[in-house]
Amino acid sequence: MELRYSDADEAFRAELRAWLDRELPKLAPQPAREAWDERRTWDTDWQRRLFDGGYAGLHWPKEFGGRGASPTEQLIFYEETARARAPYVGVNFVGTLHAGPTLIEEGTDEQKAAHLPKILCGDEVWCQGFSEPNAGSDLASLRTRAERDGDDYVLNGQKIWCSFGQVADVGEFLVRTDPDAPKHKGISWLILPMDTPGIEIRPIVTVLGSSEFCEVFLNDVRVPVANRVGAEHDGWRVTNVTLKYERGTAFVSELVDAMRLCEDLAPRVLDPAERRELGRCAAEFDALWALTKRNVSQAARGTTGPGAMVIKLAYSEARQRFGELCLRVLDRDALHIDDNELVEERLRVLALTIAAGASQIQRNIISERVLGLPREPR
């Protein structure tokens, strides 16, 4: 394991720091939570700045317009952007973090040319239409039908928990193309333009009072067969490519953010027992950051260890304990502080042990694939 940064890494850090110092003061104030059009504009403006600065698609290969950065440079990027309190990818997360990388691995040349440049510069926002009301953990049970009609598929069904669906231009959608095959074998992965007739989007309000998710209803939606990524009925394999990127990258910047919030909470924590608890949270986040570095160090050598499997579970549960501590420290203040990041923390982190694979599912994966325990009965 190599945890030290090289001279070249430190040069990258200095260049990035200087760029952030120049760009961040130019940003407009962040829009209100429910101002969706403004949020889209704000997030895509940041994406455009990253693109112009040479920092968009940091982990994408150079031949597809990315920076082709080493895993260590990616860690430095997360450290520095968190230190400078730079914006998160926001509504661009599906496109930049997993739809784009899936197209790079599995898309045709036409699909890559049509979408990758637009994702990188913030011109195209993507959403994910995987989950359905009865297909979340057991995603392969999805029932949205895609029937072949000439050069089109005709889609009928319902998706749910589609993050930022109301501002997306395009979606990565899973549909059932063969209802008679075993459930993992009859699925296809489609690129769905979200302005296609027959798509109805209904936002769902979360506990934070924000409508970040949507239900998506599909009624006789026609999608060209040319929008399929991978072979017909082979969508489960393509899905695993998407999930590899989704679970691999989504939590690193969150972890850096958690370390920052620990520092923000510290001056308010006066009770000795709560100070001990805060110390424990900070130590856990620190240990997870060291584990992230180890995972990155292994990935750079082309290997993976159990660390990559446990990090999502360990991080999401540690962050929930921290969220509970925030509320205890604020006590009654939590009731009358408006727009407080620490109150939001308690509510927002409830979702972390569900999103991108629930904790129970992560435990199943660890017990079966890392510990070699017997498989769950199917």
Residues 279-308 touching ligand FAD, rule: CB under 6 A, are none
225, 334, 351, 366: residue in contact with ligand FAD (rule CB under 6 A): 351
State the nearest-atom distance from the C-beta of 354 to ligand FAD, in Å.
4
State the nearest-atom distance from the C-beta of 12 to ligand FAD, in Å.
31
Tell me whether residue 246 is one of the annotated catalytic residues: yes
Q: Indicate the residue whose CB is closest to ligand FAD.
A: 136
Q: Which long-range contacts (CB under 8 A, 24 or more apart) does 302-307 make?
A: 306/366, 306/370
Reference 105, options 136, 162, 63; nearest CA is 63
State the nearest-atom distance from the C-beta of 137 to ligand FAD, in Å.
3
Q: Which stretch binds ligand FAD (CB under 6 A): 51-59, 80-88, 111-119, 355-363?
A: 355-363
Q: Report the C-alpha gap between 10 and 212 in whole angstroms.
A: 37
State the nearest-atom distance from the C-beta of 172 to ligand FAD, in Å.
9
Contact 95, 57 (CB under 8 A): no
Size of the site for ligand FAD (CB under 6 A): 18
The verdict on 140 binding ligand FAD (CB under 6 A) reads no
The verdict on 154 binding ligand FAD (CB under 6 A) reads no
Q: Which stretch binds ligand FAD (CB under 6 A): 20-28, 115-123, 127-135, 262-270?
A: 127-135
State the nearest-atom distance from the C-beta of 356 to ligand FAD, in Å.
6
The verdict on 362 binding ligand FAD (CB under 6 A) reads no
Residues found in the chain: 378
360, 368, 369, 373: residue in contact with ligand FAD (rule CB under 6 A): 360
73, 80, 212, 246: the catalytic one is 246
> Considering beta carbons, is residue 282 or 351 the nearer one to ligand FAD?
351
Residues 155-214 touching ligand FAD, rule: CB under 6 A, are 161-163
Q: Which stretch binds ligand FAD (CB under 6 A): 23-31, 225-233, 305-313, 357-365?
A: 357-365
Q: Report the C-alpha gap between 157 and 355 in whole angstroms.
A: 22
CB neighbours of residue 129 within 10 Å = 29
The verdict on 355 binding ligand FAD (CB under 6 A) reads yes
Residue 351 CB partners (closer than 8 Å, separation 6+): 206
Q: Exposed, middle or buried by CB within 10 Å (0-12, 13-18, 19+), for 127?
A: buried
Contact 154, 221 (CB under 8 A): yes
358, 365, 366, 370: residue in contact with ligand FAD (rule CB under 6 A): 358
Q: Which stretch binds ligand FAD (CB under 6 A): 264-272, 305-313, 330-338, 349-357?
A: 349-357
> Considering beta carbons, is residue 258 or 269 the nearer one to ligand FAD?
258
- DSSP string covering 158-208: EE---TTGGG-SEEEEEEES-TTS-TTTSEEEEEEETTSTTEEEEEE--TT
Contact 66, 77 (CB under 8 A): no
Q: Which stretch binds ligand FAD (CB under 6 A): 33-41, 226-234, 322-330, 347-355?
A: 347-355
SS3 content of the chain, % helix, strand, coil (to 5): 55, 15, 30
Work out whether strand 170-176 and strand 126-129 pair parallel, antiparallel, or are unpaired. parallel
Backbone angles phi, psi at 35, to 5 degrees: -85, 80
Q: Report the C-alpha gap between 60 and 104 in whole angstroms.
A: 8
State the nearest-atom distance from the C-beta of 59 to ligand FAD, in Å.
20
Residues 234-273 touching ligand FAD, rule: CB under 6 A, are none
Q: Report the C-alpha gap between 359 and 309 in whole angstroms.
A: 12
Q: Report the C-alpha gap between 64 and 50 in whole angstroms.
A: 15
Contacts with ligand FAD by CB under 6 A lie at 128-131, 136-137, 161-163, 351, 354-355, 357-358, 360-361, 364, 376
**Catalytically active residues, by annotation:** 246
